[in-house]
Structure 1
Amino acid sequence: MVSYFFAIVVGIITGIITSLIGASGVMVVVPALTMLFHVNTHAAIGTSLFVDVIASLTVSYNYFKNGNVDLRAGAWIAVSSIAGAQLGAMFASQINEGSLSSLFGIFLLISGIMMLSRSSKNEGGTEKEAEKRALRFKKRWQQIVLAVIVGIGIGIISGIFGAGGGVMILLALIIIMSYPLHKAIGTSTLIMSMTALSSTIGYAVRGNINLILGCFLAIGAVAGGTVGSFYANKVNEKTLQKIVSAVFICLGGMMTLLEVI
């Protein structure tokens, strides 16, 4: 019972992280399962993906209720990112693990600093950027082409860096497509739920999911994701940008320092 209680707590943390920064809970779930519950790495990853699907659907639904999900762009990005991920995986095989971790840490650090800089600008900055995007890509086919290009790019980067899909999607939506942060997080979690589902099926077929622990983690993730997304949708854009950028800077700094040490 104590183990299941801790699983729920880990799930709550995962749901909150997903709701605030639209990122995968793999950074929390995999270490927790391997170190606290002594689950082998393959099963830990498979269980994490299972939890990701449920947490992401919960969060994206709550963002959708607040009008902060772009369904069409999300679908095109999700489909095209699958192809890009295969190319990224090929590139990743040529880079050693330590270099990958350092590169990803530096990438997160720079992204966090960029977002913090954006949040220090005027309150209406993100809305103006969204308007500019709408003017640049007025035609539907232009929006689809952009979404496909972004999706392939996300897939390549995610394939190289591994469990960075949610972060990469979020950053691409904000930096490349100029989405307001709330809509970027909502759309990011929707895309992540679709990509995580395909991976979960693959791990399930091979028996690499601990369903019991996964269900308790999912209970916590639903609770944490619901509460987190409720408050995230109420927070103004600048405050949310500062929260997200602070998380990215901390994670990026920690990953970079660990590799240096």
Structure 2
Amino acid sequence: MEVDSAARVLLLVMIGLATGGLTGLTGASGMSILISALLMVGCEIREVIGLTFLVTLVNSATSVIPYWRRQLIDQRMATTMALPAIVGVLAGHHLAAGVPDAWLQTVMLVALFSAGVRITLSRSMEQETARSTRQPPLPVVIVLGFVIGLIMGVMGGGGGLFIGAVLMIAFRMPVKRAIGTSILVMGATAVPGLVLHGIAQTANWQAGGMIAVASTIAAFGSGRLATRIPVPVVKRLLGGYLLVVSLLLALKSLVW
């Protein structure tokens, strides 16, 4: 993608603001917006994946700060999940060429839509004080971390959408703590992905830099805001976001 006009620069900045804003609020990293927008303006798919890792890393490093300060991160869970996820990213990157796109997209849409419905309608998330995090067996966390990393290795930063959903639904982690923890895990798993795409020269540093600067500002601001928003509001924002994204991606796949 060539950054050769003021209009193109403005477009990249707007994409960055939207991406960063969603990352800070929901931990979902806004990668669906980033991916679809970049594809529509003519970016190659491998270039898009490389950009998602770059923006995910920058956004996570920025938006995680307010959650860390308010102790809204489960450090033990983040570490346990991130280490196998990093291995999964390395494996997924090498397997990406052999994975059918249609199969991956179908699985992703079903999972995102189901998670959105579950998060939006569940009354058990209304009261954080009434719910305790489910402590799963260590092998379960390791396997889930590896699978999430594998998905991210194939799909780029967009695979990070599954982290928050797994923490809230499978492990019953409170919403804000799940978001903060997922942001930290996403940042850790973005590092090997970015390195691999940098080596393969499929990361557009110029476009990525512009998006990253804009998204950094938005992620920091929305991250501070998210820690002050009532839990039900954050929950519905995240659930609604997943529902809308899954439906838009399904519509896009049918049209194109």
Q: TM-score, normalised by structure 2?
A: 0.84
Letter in 2 for 1:111: A
Q: 1:33 to 1:88 in 2, by over 3 A?
A: closer
* Residue of structure 2 equivalent to 1:188: 182
Q: 1:253 to 1:12 in 2, by over 3 A?
A: same
1:186, distance to aligned residue in structure 2 (A): 0.8
* Residue of structure 1 equivalent to 2:120: 116
Do structure 1's residue 40 and structure 2's residue 40 form an aligned pair? no
1:77, distance to aligned residue in structure 2 (A): 0.4
Q: 1:69 to 1:8 in 2, by over 3 A?
A: same
> Would you say the 8 A contact 1:47–1:210 is kept in 2?
yes
* Residue of structure 1 equivalent to 2:3: none
Runs of 5+ consecutive residues of structure 1 not aligned to the other structure: none
* Residue of structure 2 equivalent to 1:130: 132
**Where do residues 87-126 of structure 1 align in structure 2 (5 Å cutoff)?**
96-118=100-122, 120-121=123-124, 123-124=126-127, 126=128
> Would you say the 8 A contact 1:21–1:167 is kept in 2?
no
* Residue of structure 1 equivalent to 2:209: 215
CA distance in 2, matches of 1:28, 1:54: 16
Q: How many equivalent residue pairs?
A: 250
2:231 equivalent among 213, 226, 237: 237
Q: 1:164 to 1:122 in 2, by over 3 A?
A: closer
* Residue of structure 1 equivalent to 2:218: 224
Q: Secondary structure at the match of 1:215?
A: helix
* Residue of structure 2 equivalent to 1:53: 57
Letter in 1 for 2:44: N
Query: CA-to-partner distance for each residue in 1:141-179, whole Å, 9 max, x for gaps?
Result: x76445324313433555676654311111111111111
Runs of 5+ consecutive residues of structure 2 not aligned to the other structure: 1-5
CA distance in 1, matches of 2:54, 2:20: 13
Letter in 2 for 1:11: G
> Would you say the 8 A contact 2:148–2:160 is kept in 1?
no
Shifted more, 96-105 versus 231-240: the winner is 96-105
Shifted more, 189-198 versus 152-161: the winner is 152-161
> Would you say the 8 A contact 2:55–2:215 is kept in 1?
yes
CA distance in 2, matches of 1:30, 1:84: 21
Query: CA-to-partner distance for each residue in 1:230-259, whole Å, 9 max, x for gaps?
Result: 111111111111111111111122223344
> Would you say the 8 A contact 1:60–1:190 is kept in 2?
yes
* Residue of structure 2 equivalent to 1:24: 29
Shifted more, 40-49 versus 51-60: the winner is 40-49
Letter in 1 for 2:109: G
> Would you say the 8 A contact 2:19–2:215 is kept in 1?
yes
Query: CA-to-partner distance for each residue in 1:51-94, whole Å, 9 max, x for gaps?
Result: 11101111112211221112222122011123445777799877
Query: CA-to-partner distance for each residue in 1:85-119, whole Å, 9 max, x for gaps?
Result: 5777799877632233123212211111111121x
Q: 1:216 to 1:156 in 2, by over 3 A?
A: closer
> Would you say the 8 A contact 2:39–2:45 is kept in 1?
yes
Do structure 1's residue 15 and structure 2's residue 20 form an aligned pair? yes
